[in-house]
Amino acid sequence: MNNLFNNGTKKEYRKLFGFTFGQISFGSFLIALISGVFLAIPYDVTKPFDSISLMLLSNPAGVLFRNIHYWSSQIFLVFTLLHLYDHFFLSTEKNVKKSVWLRLTISIFFTFFILLSGFILKGDIEGLQAKRIFTSLFESIPIIGKNLGYILLGGESDHQILYVNHIATAAIFLFIVIVEHAKTYWPRISVIAYLLIPSVVTGYIFPPSLFIGNEKVIKGPWYFVGLQEILHWLYYPIIVVFGVILLFVLIYYLQRFSEKYSYFTKKILLILFFIYSVFSIVGYFFRGENWQFVFPWNNPYFSKSFNNPINNIKSAFAADSLQLNVPVVLGHREGCLTCHGNIKGFSPAHNPNAIGCYSCHSGNPFSLNKKAAHKGIILIPGNISDAKQSCGGPQCHSQITERINTTLMTTLTGMIAVDKFVFGESNGLNEFYHVDNLGYSQADTHLRNLCVSCHLGGEKKQYGPINELSRGGGCNACHLEYDKNSLNELKKFNEEKEEGFLKGEFKFSVHPSLSLTKNNNHCFGCHSRSGRISTNYEGWHETQLKPQDVFGKKGFRVLQDERVFEKKSADIHYEKGMLCVDCHTSYEIMGDGNFYLHKEDQVKIQCVDCHLKDSPKTKKLSDFDNESLKISELRKTNDTSRIYLTVSASDIPLVNTYYSSGNSYIIKKQSSEKALMKPPIFQCTGTKAHKDLSCNTCHTSWSPQCITCHTNFDKNGTAIDLLTEKELKGEWIEHGKNYFADPPALGVRIIEEKNGNIKRVVDTFIPGMVLTIHKNKNSQTVSAIFKRLFAPAFSHTIVKESRSCKSCHNNPLALGYGRGKLVYQIKDSKGRWNFTPEFEISNYDGLPMDAWIGFLKESKGEVSTRVGARPFTVDEQKKILLVGACLTCHDENSSLIKQSLTDFESLLNKRTSKCILPNWY
C-alpha cells in the first residue's frame, strides 16, 4: 500500500490492447454521444416510457442504437474511473493547471450526472424512483437545494429540463473538458471500431432493462445501488450530500497538498471506494424485497432480466413495420396483445384490454419474439409465491396480497400450535407459527404427512377448475372460474397433450375468468376436511363406508377423494340459498393485516350482527372503505339511499345488508333475492337463565364427531410431504372409528374483551384431540402420549328451531359425560342422578373414551385446544342437572318452565312436597 500511489514507480498510463484508459474513455464517450443523437429521433421526452417501449417492439434500428448508447456509456464510466485512478497513481494532478484541474474535478460530477440522467430518462419505475431519491437529496440542502434540484432535474413529472441537461449541458461540458484534457478533438478511429464490437454484442446479450412496475424489487443502476444502500441506513440524507461535497473538495485540493498529505488523502479515497463497492455489491446482488438479505439466485430482481442471447437478438428484428400498432395498456405498450388480443372469457375487470396480459402473467411485453416474450412468464398466476407480482401489482390488489400472508388460511398457526402442544413440543397453545417454517420434528412431520395441504400457500401447478380435490392455489382458490367454453378447450388441450400431438403450439382462445365467488365450490376442497364445515353446511356427514357400500343408494354422496357422506339436516342458511360469503367478509377470508391465533379470533361476524337484538351499528355507502365500496359496486348493492349494517366487532360494513324501519335485510349474493332477517325471540335474549349462551349452543343441530383416534409412526413407511410434494421417509398413520353426527357437548369459554372485561360464554365443543400417539423409540414401540382435548366448534348446522331443554339439561353428551344413560332416580324421598357410560373406560385417565369430564367431577390438567376453554365445573353441572330434575316431571313447554327462565329461584322456594330435588340441594 505504501507504493500504491508512488510517483516514481510508473511513468506511463496503463494500457489495454495498446490503448490508454483515457483513450478508451474518450472513444466510448463519442460512441455514446453519436448513438444518442440517432436515439433522439424516435425518443419522445413528453412520453419517454411509451416511446422506448414502442421502440423495443417495432424499431430494430432504435433498439440497436439504444443498446450501443447504453453499453458505451457504461464503458465510459468504468474507464473514466480507471483513468482517474491512473492520475492518482502517477500523481499527475501536480502537473495540471489549477483551472483545468477544477474543471476536471467538476467533470466527475457531470460524468455521473449524465449517466444517471440517462437512466432517469427511461421514464420507467426505476427511473422515476431514482429521480425522486435525487430530488429529495437536493431538497435536503439548505436554502439553495430546491432550486438547484429543479435546475438539474426539473419537475417531478416533467423530463424536459433533465433531457436538455443530458443531451446538451452535461454532454457539451464533458466534451469540452475531455478535449482540453486529451488535447485532441477526436480519438483514434481504431479505438471507436474496437469499442463498437463489445457495445453491440453486449447490448444484445444483456439489453438495458425497462421496468413496468409489477416488480417486487426496484433498484437503480449498478453505480447507484451503493448510495441507495447507504441512504437506507442513514436517518439524515443530508449527510450523504455533505459527504459527496467533501469528496469533491478533497479531490480538488489534492494538487495543493504536500506529498505526505496527498498520499494520505488518496489512501482514504481508495478505502472509501472499496467500502462503497461492498455496499454496491450487497445492494445489487444480495438485497431483496423489503430490504431483506437474499442470495442472488433467490432474488426476484434478477428474474426480470431476459438474458437469452439468441432470443434477444431475434426479438430485435421481429417487427415487420415501424408503424406496428401495439396497444397501450395501463400506461405501457402491451406486445402480448399482438398475438393474444382475441382471447375471450374474461370478466370485465380482468379483460386484457383493461389490464393486459403482463399484469398477471409477467413475461416480457416489449418483445414480439415468442421465446423472448415468454421469458419469465407465470403460467398460472395468483399463487401466494407470485401474488405480489401478479395480483398485487401497484394498480391492482397490493393491499390484499399483503394481508393474505397474515390470514390463518395462509399461516395455519392455530393448527400447528395445537399439534405441537399435543406432541409436547411447545409449552402453550397461543404461540404463533407459519406453515412455511415447519421443520422435521415429530409434530412437524405429522403435519407434513397428514394436515398441511390445505393452506393458501400451496401451489396450483395444473390448469383446471377448483374442485373437491383442490388445495391451496392462493388467489385462484377463491376466484378462478371455468365456464363451459373454457372447460371444453381445456379438455381438448389435455387430449392433445396426452396423445403426444401437443408441442407447445396449442393456442387457447377462451380464458377462465377471475371474479367474485358465486358459489361455495371454492370453499369445499379444504373445508370438507378437519371440521367438515362445507359438508356440514350442506347437510352431509362423513362415514367410514366405502363407495361400493353405497353404490346406487339414495342419501349418500361420494366425494372425489372417495370419502362417503350420509345426508343429514343442512344449515338453515344453506337451505335459504345463502353462500359462505353472504356472511363472511373479505377482511375475514383474506385477513385484515393482523395475525390471529385461532379461527374464532379471526372471524368477526356474529349472529347478532344480522339477527338484531339491539340497535345496530350502521354505515352509509359514503363511509365505506375502498375495498368494501368496490365489492358493493361489483355485487351491484351500492345504493346511496341505504343504511348498511356493520360487523359490530370490527366496524366493517356488510355490503349485502341494509337496515330499514327497524328491520334488517340481506341481499343474497347468488340470487340477489332480498330476505328479512328476524331478530331472536325473547327466550334467547330476554331471560336471565340463558344470558351467557351463544346462539349456536341452542341452534346447532349436530356436529361431526370422531373419538378413540390412534396415531402411530411407521419408520419404515414412506409418505408424501404435503409441503414439498416429495417422498418422505417414515409415515404417520391415523386410525379412527366411531364417526357420529350428534349434538355437540357444551362447555365454557372465558373471553377477555377489548375493554378488559371478562366474558363468560357457554358454547359448543367437539372432541378435538382424544387420541393416543405411539412413537418409535430405540426400535421399540412405546405408548408415549394420550390427550383428551375438546375444541370449540361452530359446526355450521344451524336450524331455526332451538334444541329442547332436555337435550341440554338431561343429556350426558351435552354435559360432557359422553354417550350413555343419564337417569334421575327417586328413592326414599331422595333424588339421585346416575350415569352409565356407553363407551369403555380409558386406561389413561379413567374416563369414557367419548367423555370430556367425569360425571359430577372437576376437570384436571389439559382439557381443551384453547386457553380459557373448559368443561362445566361441578357447581355448574349441579345447576344444570337441578333444572334437569325438574324436567323429569314438568313439560318443557309448560308455563312454569317458561317462567323459570327469568325467576327460577322463586319457583324453587314455592315448590311442593312432590318436588324431589337432587340430594346435593
Most confident of 195-199, 242-246, 282-286, 576-580: 576-580
Confidence at residue 627, expressed as pLDDT on a 0 to 100 scale: 93
Phi, psi of 557 (to 5 degrees): -140, 130
Neighbour tally for 484: CB within 10 Å = 8
> Could you give the CA distance from residue 656 to residue 387 in angstroms, rounded to a whole number?
27
> Could you give the CA distance from residue 8 to residue 805 in angstroms, rounded to a whole number?
106
Contact 335, 367 (CB under 8 A): yes
Residue 1 reports pLDDT greater than 80: no
Confidence at residue 775, expressed as pLDDT on a 0 to 100 scale: 64
299 vs 415, which has greater pLDDT?
415
The residue count of the chain comes to: 921
> Could you give the CA distance from residue 164 to residue 158 in angstroms, rounded to a whole number?
12
Confidence at residue 443, expressed as pLDDT on a 0 to 100 scale: 92
Phi, psi of 338 (to 5 degrees): -65, -25
Torsion of CA 638, 643, 649, 654, to 10 degrees: -30
Residue 297 reports pLDDT greater than 80: no
- Hey, CA dihedral for 549, 551, 555, 557, is it positive or negative? positive
Look up residue 120 and give its three cell numbers.
432517469
Neighbour tally for 51: CB within 10 Å = 17
Q: Using 50, 70 and 90 to split pLDDT, how confident is the model at 4?
A: very low
855: Cβ contacts below 8 Å, ≥ 6 apart: 812, 817, 833, 835
Q: What is the mean pLDDT of the chain?
A: 88
DSSP alpha helices (H): ranges in 706-863? 806-809, 812-815
Residues of the chain above pLDDT 70, percent: 94
Confidence at residue 302, expressed as pLDDT on a 0 to 100 scale: 61
209 vs 556, which has greater pLDDT?
556
Mean pLDDT of 512-535: 90
Contact 387, 475 (CB under 8 A): yes
Task: Give pLDDT tens digits for 827-849.
Answer: 888 899 999 999 999 989 999 99
- Taking the chain, what is the end-to-end CA distance rounded to the nearest angstrom? 97
Confidence at residue 183, expressed as pLDDT on a 0 to 100 scale: 86
> Could you give the CA distance from residue 154 to residue 123 in angstroms, rounded to a whole number?
14
Neighbour tally for 602: CB within 10 Å = 20
Identify the CA nearest to 791 among candidates 761, 764, 819, 752.
Answer: 764
Confidence at residue 783, expressed as pLDDT on a 0 to 100 scale: 54
Mean pLDDT of 536-564: 95
Residue recorded with cell 435536503: 140
Look up residue 772 and give its three cell numbers.
393416543
Segment holding 83, helix H or strand E: helix 60-90
Confidence at residue 2, expressed as pLDDT on a 0 to 100 scale: 40
Contact 794, 699 (CB under 8 A): no
Segment holding 881, helix H or strand E: helix 874-887
Residue 262 reports pLDDT greater than 90: no
Q: Using 50, 70 and 90 to split pLDDT, how confident is the model at 188?
A: confident
Identify the CA nearest to 773 among candidates 763, 783, 764.
Answer: 783
Buried b (16+ CB within 10 A) or exposed e, 876-894: bbeebbbbbbbbeebebee
> Could you give the CA distance from residue 268 to residue 149 in angstroms, rounded to a whole number?
29
Confidence at residue 503, expressed as pLDDT on a 0 to 100 scale: 58
Cα distances (angstroms) measured from residue 322 to each of 63, 313, 475: 12, 17, 39
> Could you give the CA distance from residue 454 to residue 526 in angstroms, rounded to a whole number?
5
Residue 589 reports pLDDT greater than 80: yes
Residue 313 reports pLDDT greater than 80: no
Q: Using 50, 70 and 90 to split pLDDT, how confident is the model at 502?
A: low
Q: Using 50, 70 and 90 to split pLDDT, how confident is the model at 322?
A: very low
Mean pLDDT of 661-679: 94
Encoded amino acid at 250, one letter: L
Residue recorded with cell 439466485: 297
Contact 720, 726 (CB under 8 A): yes
Mean pLDDT of 451-465: 91
> Could you give the CA distance from residue 39 to residue 717 in angstroms, rounded to a whole number?
66
Confidence at residue 905, expressed as pLDDT on a 0 to 100 scale: 86
- Angle of helix 238-253 relative to helix 125-139, nearest 10 degrees, comes to 80
- The 3-state DSSP class for residue 103 equals helix
Task: Give pLDDT tens digits for 384-410.
Answer: 988 888 898 878 898 898 899 999 999
- DSSP label at 798? B
748: Cβ contacts below 8 Å, ≥ 6 apart: 760, 761, 762, 763, 869, 870, 871, 872, 876
> Could you give the CA distance from residue 743 to residue 759 in angstroms, rounded to a whole number?
24
Contact 563, 542 (CB under 8 A): yes
Task: Give pLDDT tens digits for 344-394.
Answer: 999 888 999 888 899 899 888 888 888 888 888 899 999 998 888 889 887
- The 3-state DSSP class for residue 403 equals helix
> Could you give the CA distance from residue 401 to residue 263 in angstroms, rounded to a whole number?
55
Confidence at residue 6, expressed as pLDDT on a 0 to 100 scale: 47
Contact 26, 13 (CB under 8 A): no
Mean pLDDT of 55-63: 88
Sheet order of strands, 556-558 included:
540-542, 564-567, 556-558
Confidence at residue 287, expressed as pLDDT on a 0 to 100 scale: 84
Residue 307 reports pLDDT greater than 50: no
Mean pLDDT of 477-492: 92
Task: Give pLDDT tens digits for 896-921.
Answer: 888 888 888 888 888 888 899 998 87
Cα distances (angstroms) measured from residue 671 to each of 282, 453, 579: 56, 32, 10
Mean pLDDT of 636-660: 94
Contact 538, 570 (CB under 8 A): yes
Strand 618-620 versus strand 643-645 pairing type: antiparallel
Encoded amino acid at 429, one letter: L
Residue recorded with cell 382435548: 789
Encoded amino acid at 218, one letter: I
Confidence at residue 487, expressed as pLDDT on a 0 to 100 scale: 94
Identify the CA nearest to 232 among candidates 282, 305, 191.
Answer: 282
> Could you give the CA distance from residue 768 to residue 733 in angstroms, rounded to a whole number?
17
Residue 137 reports pLDDT greater than 70: yes
Confidence at residue 501, expressed as pLDDT on a 0 to 100 scale: 63
> Could you give the CA distance from residue 268 to residue 281 in angstroms, rounded to a whole number?
20
pTM (two decimals): 0.82
> Could you give the CA distance from residue 290 to residue 232 in angstroms, rounded to a whole number?
11
Of 401-415, 466-480, 499-513, 593-607, the least confident: 499-513
Look up residue 141 and give its three cell numbers.
440542502
Confidence at residue 420, expressed as pLDDT on a 0 to 100 scale: 94
75 vs 517, which has greater pLDDT?
75
